[in-house]
Each structure stands twice: as C-alpha cells, then as structure tokens.
Amino acid sequence: MRAADTDREAVADRLRVALNEGRLDLHEYDERLQRAYRSRTYAELDALVADLPSVAPPADSGLVTSPAAAPATAQRPAVRSATARWLVQVWQPYLQVVPIVVAIWAISSLFARDLLYFWPGWVAGPWGAVLLVRTVTGLGAGEPQRWAVERDRRRERKRARRARRREIRAAGSAGPDGWRRPEQPGPEQGRGPGESGALG
C-alpha cells in the first residue's frame, strides 16, 4: 500500500526516539530519515524500523502493519505544525517589511497633508505575488516536510557536536590512554632527561 506524509512523519518520529535512546548513531539516523521521506509504500517504511522496538502495544504476530497507520491521526498535528512553521518562515520578512513601508508612506502623507502616490504597492504587490507562487508550489511539492527534516538534521548535528565535546572534556579530565593530558606533561611530551628535575 502507498504511504502518506503522515506515515512518513510517524516513522521519522520513531527514528528520532531511537536516536535519543542511543539505538541509532547520527549517521544511521540521517540515512534512515532520508530513506523514510523517499519511501512510497508501507513495506519500505517497515524496513526502516524493523530492528527497532515497537512503541505501539506489543503484537504477537511478527508482521508490522503500517508502523505509522495507528498513530497517523496523532501525527497530523505534527505535519500541520511543520507546515505552519514553514509558512511563517516564508512570509515573516514580508509581514515585517510591508507594514513599515506603509507606515512610512502614511507618515509622509500626513506631513504633506495629502494622500501621496501609494508607492508601497510596488513593494508589496510583486513581492507578495512571488511569495504566493512559492507557497503554492512549496505546499504541493512537500517543501514543509523537507524543511522540517533539514531543521531536525541541523539540530541533531548540534546535539551530536555538544555531546562529543562533553565526552572529550570528560575523557580529558579522567586522563584515559590516547587522550591529551594537558596538566600532566611527562618525558614523552617533549621534556628531555635533563629537564625533568630542573626546578630552580
């Protein structure tokens, strides 16, 4: 059966849970996430989560029936949220700039005591038309979902970098073999035999 966007989102959420639990590393999560959003059928989605524990109530049969079919209704708000955030990102500059331009025109008309030529229309009109076309084509092509995936990737990369830094700091303070020990210089770090005991 053909999968829907809500099904792909549900599988993506399961993969995120598996990443947070340490069942997947960042590279494997990124690869499976890309495959999830390219999947067309439930069978392709099933293969991505076959080796992960089920988050649904346990079933006796070995068949995984559409992992996203059960929580599909619960995932609709997530899809709507991604679409809403994408729309805000697309339209926010327009909604910030156009009122400023109109306010400048209104103040100018007030000082001139006459309605001046409405030049903000040349800013709002073409720009709004371009954004409208982008919105329609983006919604039709699934752009909000791709944007949400890319945003999640950036967040996971930042988390992974922060986790690696914490591990490096923890390992450096513990001083395991193979790590730099900055506060314990020894003969192996460049001191000669005659320098080790020279203390004043």
pLDDT single digits (tens) 8-46: 888 888 888 888 888 888 788 888 888 888 888 888 888
Where b means 16+ CB within 10 Å and e means fewer, 134-161 reads eeeebeeeebbbebbbeebeeebeeeee
Secondary structure, 3-state, 132-185: HHHHHHHHHCCHHHHHHHHHHHHHHHHHHHHHHHHHHHHHHHHCCCCCCCCCCC
What single-letter DSSP state applies at residue 58? Answer: P
Q: Name the residue with higher pLDDT: 123 or 82.
A: 123
Q: Name the residue with higher pLDDT: 193 or 106.
A: 106
Question: pLDDT category, 139, cuts 50, 70, 90?
Answer: confident
Percent of residues, the chain, with pLDDT higher than 70: 72
Q: Taking 90 as the threshold, does the pLDDT of residue 122 lie above it?
A: yes
d(CA 174, CA 186): 16
Q: What is the pLDDT of residues 142-155, one digit of tens each?
A: 788 788 888 888 88
Q: What is the pLDDT of residues 50-79, one digit of tens each?
A: 888 876 444 444 444 444 444 444 445 555
With a CB cutoff of 8 Å and minimum separation 6, the contacts of 46 are 64, 66, 67
H or E segment at 69?
Answer: none
Number of other residues whose CB lies within 10 A of the CB of residue 32: 20
What was the pLDDT predicted at 7? Answer: 83
Q: Name the residue with higher pLDDT: 135 or 26.
A: 135
DSSP string, 10-24: HHHHHHHHHHHHTSS
What was the pLDDT predicted at 78? Answer: 53
Query: How far from chain centre, in Å, is Cα 151?
Result: 2
Q: Taking 70 as the threshold, does the pLDDT of residue 102 lie above it?
A: yes
Query: Whole-number mean pLDDT of the chain?
Result: 75
Q: Taking 60 as the threshold, does the pLDDT of residue 192 lie above it?
A: no
